[in-house]
Amino acid sequence: MRVEKASSTKIKNTKQRELILNELRKLMSHPTAEELYKIVVKKNPKIGLCTIYRNLETFYKQGLVGKICTKPVRYDGDMSKHSHIRCTSCGKIGDIFFNVPINPVEIQKLGYKLQGYKIEITGLCSSCIKKQKREE
Amino acid sequence: MRVEKASSTKIKNTKQRELILNELRKLMSHPTAEELYKIVVKKNPKIGLCTIYRNLETFYKQGLVGKICTKPVRYDGDMSKHSHIRCTSCGKIGDIFFNVPINPVEIQKLGYKLQGYKIEITGLCSSCIKKQKREE
DNA sequence: AGATAAATGAAAATGATTCTCATTATCATT
DNA sequence: AATGATAATGAGAATCATTTTCATTTATCT
């Protein structure tokens, strides 16, 4: 008889979970939990904000959604390979589709096992560039 | 007569500021404000935690230190070009010295003005790899 | 259907960070 | 060195995103 490993808790499919994931996937933006809550609560007025928080984290751990560690945290329903650019002036986050070659072997040499990587580019978005010019 | 732009407030050199920056630069780690506070307060017992927070943000905006947007936020006294790898198991952050070519022109095409970029690599550090194997 | 385990909702708790404001320190000038 | 202007400090309160707790509900398995 041997001791089992800590049980991998089985995730249950609830209506809330489905609703949250669907609504996030519909969006082209990168909403915060709060922002997504405001959308979701229209379809299910009984849902609680903490359910959004909980499920977004679960989705992220399952690899179903992306997470952008700004403050507040933002989530991304689009899992295609892309990077983000954040405007340092207004905070807006845009998508950038281009590849950066990261070599897993290089990482292995350093003693790490590569799991993923994220590139966060910072810059000024077009509307903030215009705004800045007007102020000069 | 023309209206001047909002004054660029002059930064004053205080003993606290100097102490905080020096201590951060001595470290090879990526401390949180709290962690740095514990070091700094030994040399200046009257210093307040909020002074650490304030100055770290100021240093970051001045481009004197790096900022790693984990939670809690971590700062980096080493401004040489490098990336970070964060262990998804223990949270430890290591330095990785390798270059990723980001082309400012590509970013410009998308309407943005490139300011900087960060690569955050996630993986398992060597000690967490060992730990995982032991548990299997 | 009944048992089991996980998810929910509500409210409270947490924890990092930021704000306020009275006081103090710095810096450029007299 | 004294002055005046302005920025920084320290203390505590406030904020805000996020997480925890716990009683209840729901999903899934047999």
Predicted confidence (pLDDT) per residue in A54-70, tens digit:
999 999 989 899 998 88
Residue A84 has pLDDT above 80, yes or no: yes
pLDDT given at position B65: 94
pLDDT band at A6 (very low <50, low <70, confident <90, very high): very low
| DSSP for A22-50, written as a single string | HHHHH-SS--BHHHHHHHHHHH-TT--HH
pLDDT given at position B8: 61
CA dihedral A72, A97, A92, B5 (to 10 degrees): 130
What is the nearest CA distance from B101 to chain A, expressed in angstroms? 8
d(CA A41, CA A45): 5
Q: For chain A, which domains are there?
A: 11-79 (1.10.10.10), 81-136 (3.30.1490.190)
pLDDT given at position B4: 34
A28: burial class by Cβ within 10 Å (0-12, 13-18, 19+)? exposed
Cβ atoms of B41 and B47 closer than 8 Å:
yes
| Disruptive mutation site among A121, A124, A127 for chain B (greatest number of B CBs within 10 Å) | A121
Which three-class secondary structure state does DSSP give residue B9? coil
Integer distance in angstroms from CA A108 to C1' D27? Answer: 42
Cβ atoms of B32 and B40 closer than 8 Å:
no
Q: What percent of chain A has pLDDT over 70?
A: 92
CA atoms within 13 A on the CB side of A101: 4
Summary mean pLDDT of chain A:
86
User: In this predicted structure, which of A12-16, A83-87, A106-110, B40-44 has the lowest mean pLDDT?
Assistant: A106-110
Inform me whether the C-beta atom of residue B63 falls under 8 Å from chain A C-beta atoms. no
Inform me whether the C-beta atom of residue A27 falls under 8 Å from chain B C-beta atoms. no
d(CA B96, CA B119): 10
**C-beta neighbour count of B75 within 10 angstroms:** 24
Q: What percent of chain A has pLDDT over 90?
A: 43
**C-beta neighbour count of A63 within 10 angstroms:** 9
Cβ atoms of B75 and B31 closer than 8 Å:
yes
φ, ψ dihedrals at A21, nearest 5°: -65, -40
pLDDT band at B32 (very low <50, low <70, confident <90, very high): very high
Summary mean pLDDT of chain B:
85
User: In this predicted structure, which of A37-41, B16-20, B91-95 has the lowest mean pLDDT?
Assistant: B91-95
Integer distance in angstroms from CA A46 to C1' C8? Answer: 10
pLDDT given at position B6: 40
